[in-house]
Amino acid sequence: MSAHLEADPRGVIQCCPGCGTANRIAYARLGQQGRCGTCKADLPQVAGPVEAADIQAFAALLSQSSLPVVIDFWAPWCGPCQMMAPEFAKAAAQAAGEALFVKVNTDEQPEIAGQFRVQGIPAFALVRQGRVAAQSSGFQPAARLLAWMRQA
């Protein structure tokens, strides 16, 4: 499981476990089996939280993702957010290929938090086919977060 994945306006950047080459997986192909561009090995499903680096990448991700997107709104100074981080990563690993888990640092991306009317953190949003399907807040163990995602 990768601890830190990044997204750009065209997809998620994931390193090949075989040769280490960075590969871009287009948002529209996230649920499909990918291959490394260098060694042609199968790439694993995205199994870790993806950092939303900027608003353009985030907007592309939401509009193009073939998978539901679970968003964690957090900040580095927030104690409950720090406690939530390993649970969010565990949920991301357990839902690999089923949903994409994205982290939005509200200090660095306040405009994204504003779009979702985030008032307190940690907060979560579930986006399916570009639309907000559900929102929640507060610490949640991975099992509860996954149950919430699957029910919404």
Whole-number pLDDT of residue 1: 36
Mean of pLDDT values over 93-109: 95
User: Residue 14 falls within a domain, yes or no?
Assistant: no
Domain span at residue 55 reads 46-151
User: Burial level of 73, CB count in 10 A (0-12/13-18/19+)?
Assistant: buried
The pLDDT value recorded for residue 33 is: 87
Judge residue 74's burial from the number of C-beta atoms within 10 Å of its C-beta, 0-12 exposed, 13-18 middle, 19 or more buried: buried
Taking only the tens place, the pLDDT of each residue in 59-90 is 999 999 999 999 999 999 999 999 999 999 99
The CATH number for 132's domain is 3.40.30.10
Q: Does residue 1 lie within any of the structural domains? A: no
Phi, psi of 120 (to 5 degrees): -145, 155
- Those residues with Cβ within 8 angstroms of residue 53's Cβ, 6 or more apart along the chain or in another chain: 6, 7, 8
**Do the domain assignments include residue 50?**
yes
The Cα 115–Cα 8 span in angstroms is 19
**Catalytic residue positions, numbered:** 78, 81
Confidence of residue 2 (pLDDT cuts 50, 70, 90): very low
For the chain, give the percent of residues with pLDDT over 90. 88
Q: Sorting pLDDT into bands at 50, 70 and 90, what band is 4?
A: low
68 located within any domain: yes
In a domain, 38, yes or no: no
Does 116 map to a domain? yes
Residue 6: the pLDDT is 86
Decide if 12 is inside a domain: no
Q: Would you say residue 63 lies in a domain?
A: yes
The Cα 116–Cα 110 span in angstroms is 10
Q: How many domains does the chain have?
A: 1
